[in-house]
Structure 1
Amino acid sequence: MKHKQITDKIGFQQLNESVEDDLIRLVTRGMALKNGGSLDDIESYVLPLMLTRWNCVLKAETGLVRYYKEKVYLTLATQLHKYGFSDKHITEKALEAIDLLNDNVVLSDDFFRKSPKIKEFLKTKPTALKRKPSRQKNITFFRENDVISINIDGTYYIAFIHKLIGVNESPVIEFYEQVFNRPPKLEDIKIKKARGQQYNDDIIRASKFAIYGMKYQPDLANQIHLLSASENSTMAPDSSHLEECVGVYTVSNLFTIQDTVRKMFSESSI
């Protein structure tokens, strides 16, 4: 049994690519940090960041297509195993998902026949990677002037896409000041005031971020939602109350932006 055989039988190529892209980005960064001496355990770095994003599916109570959560559990368990990691809870849920998918005849007869082998394979100890994985091509299906929400630990942050880097490589976003504890709608944005970032000089400045890895729309991790596919810039946040931005934008990704956003919206930044 091989990892690709399992993901091929799940039959959701975009989901598999999305999970693998996220893992490659995290594993590559984790290996660099470990080689630099600032990280001892790559798994303790990868799993929390991965789950902050994919828990938007795994912990969702509504809004998902039937059996999608089971396919995500199984894909996560398979890809984690491929890259040398194993999470007991995810593996257990993946094994349960196999039974549920078979009981409801969701996948193929071949998946049903190979299920015992798949289960045994996922329960084996994964082999740690010895070299950095190949990076995937950066691409985004989001567009200029889109308004999006990003779910981080159950808090929803709103952002505006000012432009795209390169040939649809990465969106450059700026955050609004409003936050929500529920999935927001476009009409919930009452004030178009931009949220700034506090720098080491204690000055709060306008801040934009190029988010690499923000690929699929709709987002298969259920973390990023499109609120408006705008055709003009009328929804752009107003940053006139903030000091001038340092540089054009800060290069970031779906994982490093998590801590950045938490700090930007903390009490010390108000």
Structure 2
Amino acid sequence: MKHQQVLDKLAAKGHVRALDEELARWVHWQMVTPLPSHEELTRDVVTPVLTRWRCLLDSEEARPATRNVVRVALATLLHKYGFQDPAVTAAAVEAVDALNRDVVLSDAFARRSDDIKRLLCSAPVPLTRRPGSPRSLTFLRPGDVLSIELGGRFHAAYVWKVHGLNETPVIEFYAGTFAQPPTLADLADGEAARPGGRARFGVDGLTYLPDPANQVRAVAAGQDQGPRGGEPGPGQGLYTLSDVMTLQRNMADLFGGEIPGSGS
């Protein structure tokens, strides 16, 4: 059975497309430098992907069927790009059974379930060349205010501009973290997380809103005022180049703490 045959049966084109784009871009950049061992490369690829998508997989707001479909898609796409995580694979196998038990997908999916499980449990073939990196695209707009989750805490960010033809948003984080997605009232007259433009990032791959991974949420749109005090001074860079996966490391550095580890 082929990976695309599995993905086509999941009836979740938006989630599959977003996951595929993010993995292609992330694996592409991880393979630019001289490759570490495959075990190290697997860790470097898988951990931030799981951290981001856990915002959906652990969410009580998301439908169980959606979470199970994404579990299967995640294991399938990791396998497609030559990676495997035992916890992810085990969760996907359980998700296949749950999807069949709840009659969520088609008869074709149910008939091929054993083949799907065999594919996911088989040893993946490591890539010998970098996958193509998809063009950066964003549906965010200047003046958008966002909530971005990391490790169960929520951080607010403001979209200052979008570079290119709807390509790369430049965001700036507000100071402070929140136990739940902040409201616009929580951010009234809010200051930047750090002065001198050090809380500003140009983020490739920050594409969709609503975010399929449930990590990024809309707080407000069309706001004229962003965080105060973050304007870069003479000789300081305007912003730091990043991407949707590396942004999690940027956030951990900015607000303190560690990126959560992998798991199911």
Work out whether the TM-score is over 0.5. Answer: yes
2:231 and 2:162 map into 1 onto residues whose CA distance is 25
Q: Of 195, 216, 240, which residue of structure 2 is paired with 1:250?
A: 240
Amino acid corresponding to residue 109 of structure 1 in structure 2? D
- Cα distance, 1:179 vs. partner? 1.1
Which residue is equivalent to 1:220? 212
Indicate the residue corresponding to 2:123 in structure 1: 125
Q: 1:193 aligns with which of 191, 209, 217?
A: 191
Asked whether 1:134 is paired with 2:132, we answer yes
Shift of 1:233: 0.9
Residue of structure 2 in register with 1:49 after alignment: 48
Distance 1:105 1:40, change over 3 A: closer
Partner of 2:34: 34
- Cα offset, 1:137, TM superposition: 1.7
Please report how far the alpha carbon of residue 240 of structure 1 lies from its aligned counterpart in structure 2 after TM superposition: 6.3
Aligned to 2:165: 167
Identical-pair percentage: 36
Distance 2:144 2:4 in 1: 35
Corresponding residue for residue 202 of structure 2: 210
- SS of the equivalent of 1:41 reads helix
- What TM-score, normalized to structure 1? 0.88
Amino acid of the residue matched to residue 256 of structure 1? T
Whether the 8 Å contact between 1:178 and 1:189 is mirrored in structure 2 is no
> 1:265 aligned to 2:255?
yes
Amino acid aligned to 1:135: S
Q: TM-score scaled by structure 2?
A: 0.90
- In the TM superposition, structure 1's runs of 4+ consecutive aligned residues that sit over 3 Å from their partners are 37-40, 240-245
Count of residues in Structure 1 that have an aligned counterpart in Structure 2 = 256
Counting only pairs closer than 5 Å after superposition, residues 148-163 of structure 1 correspond to structure 2 as 148-163=146-161
**Contact 1:205/1:245, CA 8 A, preserved across alignment:** no
Structure 2: distance between partners of 1:247 and 1:39: 35
Alignment deviations for residues 171-208 of structure 1 (CA, whole Å, 9 cap, x no partner): 11011112112222222224421111xxxxxxx52232
* Aligned-partner residue type, residue 115 of structure 2: K
